[in-house]
Amino acid sequence: MVSEAFRGWRAGDGVVDPAGHTMAAEEVAGAETDVLAPPTDPEVCVGFRAFGVRYGDFEALKEVQLDIRRGHITAFMGPSGCGKSTLLRSINRMNDTIPSARFTGQVYLDGEPIYVPGVNIIRLRKRVGMVFQKPNPFPASIFENVAWGARVHGLYKGHALFEHVEKCLARAGLWDEVKDKLKLNAMSLSGGQQQRLCIARALAVEPEILLMDEPCSALDPIATYRIEELMRSLVPDYTVIIVTHNIQQAARVSDYCAFFWVDENRCGRLVESGPTAQLFEAPKDERTERYLAGRMG
Amino acid sequence: MRYETVRRVTNVASLAFCGLLAATAVLPLVLVLYHVVRNGASALNLDFFTKLPVPIGESGGGMANALVGSLLLIGAASLVGVPVGVIAGFFLARQLSGRFAFWVRFAADVLSGVPSIVVGVVAYELIVVPMKGFSALSGALALALIMIPTVVRTTEEMVKLVPYTLYEAALAVGAPEWRATVFVFLRGARAGIITGIMLAMARIAGETAPLLFTAFNNQFWSVSLTQPISSLPVQIFNYAMSPYDEWHRLAWAACLVLVVLVLGMSVITRMVTRGKYEIIQ
């Protein structure tokens, strides 16, 4: 299994990329032998093992070794270009849509590797939902936005589907505001409402993990507050992973934090990670301390 | 004069000049509508829509066959042109680079610049000659060729306007690529694609040159695709060239019907697609 995990994968088609293979093998050979071992702790939901991403010749991220705990909120922090979004999008393999993307190392989801041939990406994305930086509801009705994903996976039909949509909208704290206008175009909602609709849409396929890529950066403070409240209400039912530029936001909402930095080659690196309180009060690395103090980044 | 007065006068003069030129640009349309309505309205009656042309010397008669023939030609041309154009446009929009996409795009641009009479000659060579006779089919195909580039390019542009993040959102809920593509891009670009199709249809509705030696003309009732068929533009051409006042009147009436048909299509398109561009943020 470990040798499998050494391989790099070309986006989408699951064909072994020889170049990626060579690079990964060289790189990891010098490291400890168990660097690619799957997480053994059942509380670990997502495990990155010597994980790296490159776009063509550009190395965006490398040697990420990180465990993400089930039922908690984990925040990825760091300056622009430190690879935190790339890492987030690796969990549901959204980076596969970029043809030049190559991957090394491995990501484990509930102990199962996801960068191996034969992984069903559609089922993976059903388990790992995603909310984007800018609210991006479909140009369709509010109902259809939530129902579509459930329909794609054949989860519910008829009246059960309606009840499911209601449940998801209620979970996202939007039901009371939209219950009388489910047939209205989703574009008629405000930005904050659209983002909550996108969360309802993600919940509609019944995921275990919710990835949020700077979900509040396009919203005003009140809408941001509502999304943050909503995030807190989603744990421990869901595992939430959020990318944020906002140090205060990470401090407010997250249970665990991972701090990233860019090295001299503009390649993203994981600097340190741990419980949020610990990371904020007693950062181990000087860069973390300076970043959190607002003196850098 | 004080500086501010100079500014104010310049402003008024410039605005007046721009307004005048804008009015000049609209003038041709006003002239066309005025003459067509003035000459056509008096000749237009129920017979025009229900009766067939009558021989020279008899009064009355109509253009029922030409009206139906035109609609049939537009319909048959759309049946070929719309699927080909929309699918090709979709392909170009989702296949931004690549040699093949480049050549398809280039070919569509060149094709849209080919004079319509040349398209007619080609249709004659390809269909009329092997079939040993003029036919509605050859006319429809000539019109389809004229239609395709317009539909291709508008479809491409409209699909490109759909934000990529919507496609990502569809993939992120676990939709297969084909389903995400159809749902997001077709839905997002629907209004624009329909506009393109309607404009292309309006354009071919008035095409005369490619029909002259493909669909030819027919003084009798015919809805057969293998027979020559009458159409409004060709009928206008024939009647307007004739020395008979009665035919001139009918030609004006046909002009009015044709103009109303084309204008109607544009107006309906505008109404249907109004406010549908809101996804483009």
Task: Say which CATH number the domain at A143 has.
Answer: 3.40.50.300
Mean pLDDT, rounded, for A203-220: 93
Which segments of B181-244 does DSSP mark as H helices, in order?
187-205, 209-212, 232-241
Split at pLDDT 50, 70, 90, the class of A243 is very high
pLDDT score recorded for residue B267: 86
Nearest residue, CB atoms, A130 vs list B172, B183, B187: B172
Report how far apart, in Å, the C-alpha atoms of A9 and of each of A96, A121, A125, B226 are.
Answer: 9, 13, 18, 56
| Residue A19 in this model has a pLDDT that exceeds 80 | no
Give the domain range for residue B39: 3-43
Helix (H) or strand (E) holding B270: helix B245-273
Q: Are both B14 and B129 inside the same structural domain? A: no
Mind listing the pLDDT tens digit for each residue in A257-291?
A: 999 999 888 899 999 999 999 999 988 988 888 88
**Sole residue written with tokens 């035109």:** B70
Q: How would you write A45-90 as a 3-class SS string? A: EEEEEEEEEEECCEEEEEEEEEEEECCCEEEEECCCCCCHHHHHHH
pLDDT computed for residue B188 by the predictor? 84
Instruction: Please tell me the total count of domains within chain B.
Output: 2
Residue B281 belongs to some domain of the structure = no
B169 in A contact zone (CB under 8 Å):
yes
pLDDT at B275: 56
Residues B87/B97, Cβ–Cβ less than 8 Å: no
Give the model confidence (pLDDT) of A45-99 as tens digits.
Answer: 999 999 999 999 999 998 999 999 999 999 999 888 889 999 999 999 999 888 8
Same domain, B53 and B151: yes
Specify if B278 maps to a domain. no
pLDDT in tens, B133-186: 888 899 999 999 999 999 999 999 999 999 989 999 999 999 998 899 889 988
Instruction: Report CB contact under 8 Å: B171, A97.
Output: yes
**Same-domain check for residues B115 and B249:** yes
Chain A CB within 8 Å of residue B98 CB: no
pLDDT tens digits, one per residue of A109-142: 998 999 999 899 999 999 999 999 999 999 889 9
Average pLDDT, chain A: 86
Q: Are residues B7 and B53 in the same domain?
A: no
Neighboring chain B residues of A187 at a CB cutoff of 8 Å: 278-279
**Within a domain: residue A183?**
yes
A165 at the B interface (CB within 8 A)? Answer: no
pLDDT band at A235 (very low <50, low <70, confident <90, very high): confident
pLDDT digits (tens, 9 = 90+) for B46-81: 888 888 888 777 777 788 889 999 999 999 999 999
Number of domains in chain A: 1
Listing DSSP states for B49-78 in one string gives: HHPPP--TT------HHHHHHHHHHHHHHH
**Cα pseudo-dihedral A221, A223, A228, A231, rounded to 10:** -170
Determine whether the interchain pair A122/B175 forms a contact, defined as Cβ–Cβ distance below 8 Å: yes
What is the β-pairing status of strands A239-244 and A268-275? Answer: unpaired
Helix, strand, coil tally for chain B in percent (to 5) = 75, 0, 25
- Residue B280 confidence (pLDDT): 42
Check whether residue B18 and residue B53 sit in a common domain.
Answer: no
- B142 plus B253 within the same structural domain: yes
Helix-strand-coil split of chain A, %, nearest 5 = 40, 25, 35
A28, pLDDT greater than 80: no
pLDDT of residue B96: 67
User: Phi and psi of A174, rounded to 5°?
Assistant: -120, -15
Structural domain span for residue A30: 2-292
Read off φ and ψ for residue A209, nearest 5 degrees: -120, 145
In a domain, A166, yes or no: yes
- Look up residue A209 and give its DSSP letter: E
pLDDT given at position B279 = 45
Task: Please tell me whether residues B239 and B133 are part of one structural domain.
Answer: yes
